């Protein structure tokens, strides 16, 4: 039972990172109807930038993550600005453009930080906590707490602020939003920026859990993408639920199947999607969300 709960908490902390990545995917899709295939590599850049400020510049871990969010937020704005002329004109080129940006980001990371990668020390050196006889890694709880705050903040932003309402309006009806004076370009840029910031937060948090390298964006991007699909692509609550589910499934499959954990995770994911193709919170018709 102790091993079960330890594996569960470890899976939830990793799942919280997947949820942050999935929320970034879903946010851009809701606003522009576009899957940002560079998103996983933005996560990787966030992990590298946060680890650099933390390990080399000796900034506190929290400030290092804030710096990473600022850097990747700017990257998100640049991606949206380059793709903006293609919006509502050539959707295929926009998709190819995001793939191209991902390749460029991975190449840039290799040039700056090299191909060997780095291990990031935990910012919480405290011994594991003993909760009812279950030893829990303190940093796992930190990840869960920070990710939960970010999720709540995003939901409140979308539901309680004018900018969030404008993004919701663009998501529901692009032409109507334009007709009432909403600046769609700014809304899309903000969406990309927030999505990239969530990616940086996830990348910064996952650094002490995984080995940071230039290819990590592929794995995190695929699992975040799978989490978004599992929850219902474009749904923020679905992204959260899907991320936690993928994380827990990944953790338990790693404990029981070792080298075949990814295979088991995606086999289970495939079965679920075959039963529920639209995801948990998905709709049967997909509009420009």
What pTM, to 2 d.p., does this model score? 0.90
In a domain? residue 79: yes
Residue 283's pLDDT is what?
A: 56
In a domain? residue 283: no
In a domain? residue 288: no
pLDDT digits (tens, 9 = 90+) for 148-187: 999 999 999 988 888 888 887 777 766 777 777 777 778 8
pLDDT digits (tens, 9 = 90+) for 84-120: 887 767 778 888 989 999 999 999 999 999 988 899 9
- Name which residue leads in pLDDT, 256 or 74: 74
Long-range contacts of residues 275-278, Cβ cutoff 8 Å, at least 24 apart: 278/232
In a domain? residue 281: no
> Residues 49-72: what's their mean pLDDT?
94
- The neighbour count for residue 49, using CB atoms within 10 Å, is 25
Q: Is the pLDDT of residue 288 over 60?
A: no
In a domain? residue 229: yes
pLDDT digits (tens, 9 = 90+) for 125-136: 777 777 777 788
In a domain? residue 62: yes
Please report, for the domain that includes residue 239, its CATH number. 1.10.3470
- Name which residue leads in pLDDT, 7 or 151: 151
Domain of residue 92 covers: 2-275
Residue 280's pLDDT is what?
A: 81
Q: Is the pLDDT of residue 58 over 80?
A: yes
Q: Are 223 and 18 in contact (CB under 8 A)?
A: yes
Q: Is the pLDDT of residue 237 over 60?
A: yes
In a domain? residue 285: no
pLDDT digits (tens, 9 = 90+) for 244-255: 999 999 998 887
> Residues 215-231: what's their mean pLDDT?
92
Q: Is the pLDDT of residue 21 over 80?
A: yes
Residue 289's pLDDT is what?
A: 41
Residue 259's pLDDT is what?
A: 74
Residue 282's pLDDT is what?
A: 67
In a domain? residue 47: yes
What is the count of structural domains for the chain? 1
pLDDT digits (tens, 9 = 90+) for 253-281: 887 887 788 888 889 989 988 888 888 88
What is the percent of the chain where pLDDT is above 70?
A: 96
- Name which residue leads in pLDDT, 168 or 75: 75
């Amino acid at each position: 039972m102790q091993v079960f709960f330890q594996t569960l908490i470890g899976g939830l902390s990793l799942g919280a990172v997947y949820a942050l990545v999935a929320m970034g995917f879903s946010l851009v899709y809701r606003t522009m109807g576009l899957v940002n295939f560079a998103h996983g590599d933005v996560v990787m850049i966030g992990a590298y930038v946060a680890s650099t400020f933390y390990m080399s510049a000796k900034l506190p871990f929290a400030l290092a993550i804030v710096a990473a969010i600022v850097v990747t937020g700017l990257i998100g704005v640049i991606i949206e600005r380059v793709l903006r002329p293609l919006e509502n004109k050539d959707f295929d080129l926009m998709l190819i453009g995001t793939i191209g940006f991902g390749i460029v980001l991975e190449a840039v990371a290799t040039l700056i930080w090299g191909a060997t990668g780095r291990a990031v020390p935990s910012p919480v050196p405290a011994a594991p906590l003993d909760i009812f006889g279950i030893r829990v890694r303190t940093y796992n709880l930190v990840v869960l707490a920070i990710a939960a705050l970010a999720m709540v903040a995003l939901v409140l932003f979308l539901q309680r602020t004018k900018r969030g309402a404008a993004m919701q309006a663009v998501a529901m009806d692009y032409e109507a939003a334009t007709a009432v004076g909403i600046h769609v370009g700014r809304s899309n840029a903000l969406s990309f920026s927030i999505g990239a910031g969530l990616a940086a937060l996830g990348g910064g948090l996952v650094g002490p859990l995984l080995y940071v390298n230039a290819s990590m964006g592929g794995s995190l991007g695929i699992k975040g993408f799978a989490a978004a699909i599992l929850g219902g692509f474009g749904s923020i609550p679905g992204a959260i639920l899907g991320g936690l589910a993928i994380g827990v499934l990944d953790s338990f499959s790693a404990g029981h199947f070792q080298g075949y954990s990814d295979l088991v995770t995606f086999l289970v994911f495939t079965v679920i999607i075959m039963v529920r193709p639209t995801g948990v919170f998905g709709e049967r018709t997909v509009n420009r969300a």
